[in-house]
Amino acid sequence: MARARQSLWLWAAALAVYAFLYLPLAVVVIFSFNDSLLNAEWVGFTTHWYETLFDDSEMLNAAVNSLFIAIAAASVATVLGTMAGMAMQRWRSGFLRCLPFLVLTPVAMPELLLGVSLLLFFRQVLDLTLGLISILIAHITFSIGFVAIIVRTRLAGMDESMFEAARDLGARPWQSFRRVTLPLLLPGILAGFLMSFTLSIDDFVITVFVAGVGVTTLPLQIYSMIKVAVSPEVNAVSTLLMALTLTLIALASKLAPDTLQGRA
């Protein structure tokens, strides 16, 4: 009886936490179909705000910028993060012992501090004009660590005898990587790419420091729109962005168990 009561309280606490997390998201989705300029009450169903959204040139420009930055940043971060993850797992002596600290620091560093640091680096050290390039470099910087963690975790779950067998059979290092290591790492690499893409397209704190004047992304555009009021158009773009993010997270989670278990 006591165990059943304890289980009931745990379920109630879990449901309360999930409601706190997801009910606001559900409200955003529901009111994106509300036929009213105000979010105070439900008036009727409409898709008008989605039509308005796709006719908004500023929003479309911000979406194009976000997609370009997210794809480019995720691609570069995936390549660099994969190499870093392999180096962290296989070479742990000499100077490379410092590699985990160097790679994972941007992951652990608060976004506010990282944004300010990158801003000072771009302006005072590189004298770089803030814009798409600065945003791209910033997103690559904080994405590499996440890819490296995923790749390293997958490598740690692999049987080293497979790589030794490839070498014993006469495979050169590149052949061993292309025919053995890369196929086994591919689920982890794809999961790292999806994670990097999701982090990049959703980022606001770091982007607001390094964006500069005249360059905007979806999070920045949404923030500029809600300064006055939360319009149904904001709900619509938030719903689409949420759907994209959840889809990518679901795909990454499909690959993550394989990464953790070391299966191809």
Is the model's pLDDT at 112 over the cut of 70? yes
Let me know if residue 12 belongs to a domain: no
Let me know if residue 24 belongs to a domain: no
pLDDT in tens, 191-210: 889 889 988 988 889 999 99
Let me know if residue 59 belongs to a domain: yes
Q: How many domains does the chain have?
A: 1
What token pair was written down for 123? Answer: 């302006």
Q: What CATH number does residue 109 fall under?
A: 1.10.3720.10
Let me know if residue 3 belongs to a domain: no
Domain containing 38 equals: 32-261
What token pair was written down for 177? Answer: 């990587």
Let me know if residue 16 belongs to a domain: no
| Average pLDDT of the chain to the nearest whole number | 81
Is the model's pLDDT at 168 over the cut of 80? no
Let me know if residue 140 belongs to a domain: yes
Enter the pTM of the model.
0.79
Q: How far apart are CA 24 and CA 26, in angstroms?
A: 5
pLDDT in tens, 9-67: 888 888 888 888 888 888 888 888 888 777 767 778 888 888 888 888 888 898 899 99
Is the model's pLDDT at 184 over the cut of 70? yes
**Please, which pLDDT band fits residue 71 given cuts at 50, 70 and 90?**
very high
Let me know if residue 8 belongs to a domain: no
Let me know if residue 193 belongs to a domain: yes
